[in-house]
Amino acid sequence: MKSSEANDGVRPADGRSGGELTIGELARSFGLATHVLRHWESVGVLVPARRSGGQRRYTDDQRCRVALVLRAQRAGMSLARIREALDAPDQQALRDLLSAHLDELARRMEQLREAMEMLEHSMACRHPNTVECPRARELLENTTAVCTGEAHTGGTGREKGPGPLRGAVSG
C-alpha cells in the first residue's frame, strides 16, 4: 500500500503523527527534495527529533527552522553562516554576525543598482556601441575601481591589465 493511501488511525489525513512530520512530509511542505534536508542535517543546520528505528521525525520547531534556513538562503547566507548564526553563543555574537551580513547585502544591493542603471541606460542609448556613449563611459568609469581591485586593495589596478574601457568589446 502506498504511503499516501495509508491511514493507520494514528496519523490524520494531513500526514501528521502526534504533531510530527516525516522527512518526506516536511520536504514536500516546502517544495524541497528529501536529500536537501538530509544535507542540512549533515552540515548542522537541522536536527530532527528521532523515533524508534532511527526514522527522522520533525516537529513544528524544525518546520520553523526550515523556513528560517530558506529565508536566510534567499538573503544570500551560506549554510555555514546560517549554522554559525544558529549556534551563536550569545545575542551579541548573533548581532555581530547579522550586522556583517547586512553590510554585505548593502554592498551587493549597490552593485545591483549600478548594474540596473547601466542596463537601463544601454537599452535607451542611441549610440551603436555602448562604449562610444559618454554617459555609458561615465557609468563604466565609476566601476573601474571595483573592476580593477582598487576599491579593495588600494592599488592602482594597472598591474592587473587593462581596465574595462581599454579592452572593451563592441556589441
- Residue 126, classed as helix, strand or coil, is coil
Per-residue pLDDT of 106-119, as tens digits, reads 999 999 999 999 88
Grid coordinates representing 170? Answer: 563592441
| Confidence band, pLDDT 50/70/90 cuts, at residue 145 | low
Whole-angstrom CA distances from 155 to 110, 118, 123, 138, 147 are 22, 25, 33, 21, 12
Lowest mean pLDDT among 38-47, 150-159, 162-171: 162-171
Per-residue pLDDT of 25-83, as tens digits, reads 999 999 999 999 999 999 999 998 776 577 889 999 999 999 999 999 999 999 999 99
| Confidence band, pLDDT 50/70/90 cuts, at residue 136 | confident
pLDDT for res 122: 87
What phi, psi does 56 have (nearest 5°)? -75, 135
Which amino acid appears at position 139 of this protein?
L
d(CA 147, CA 162): 10
Look up the pTM and report it. 0.63
Whole-angstrom CA distances from 40 to 16, 19, 34 are 22, 21, 10
Average pLDDT, the chain: 78
Whole-angstrom CA distances from 81 to 86, 98, 139 are 9, 9, 33
Q: 65: closest CA among 107, 108, 21? A: 21
For the sheet with 21-22, list strands across it: 21-22, 56-58, 49-50
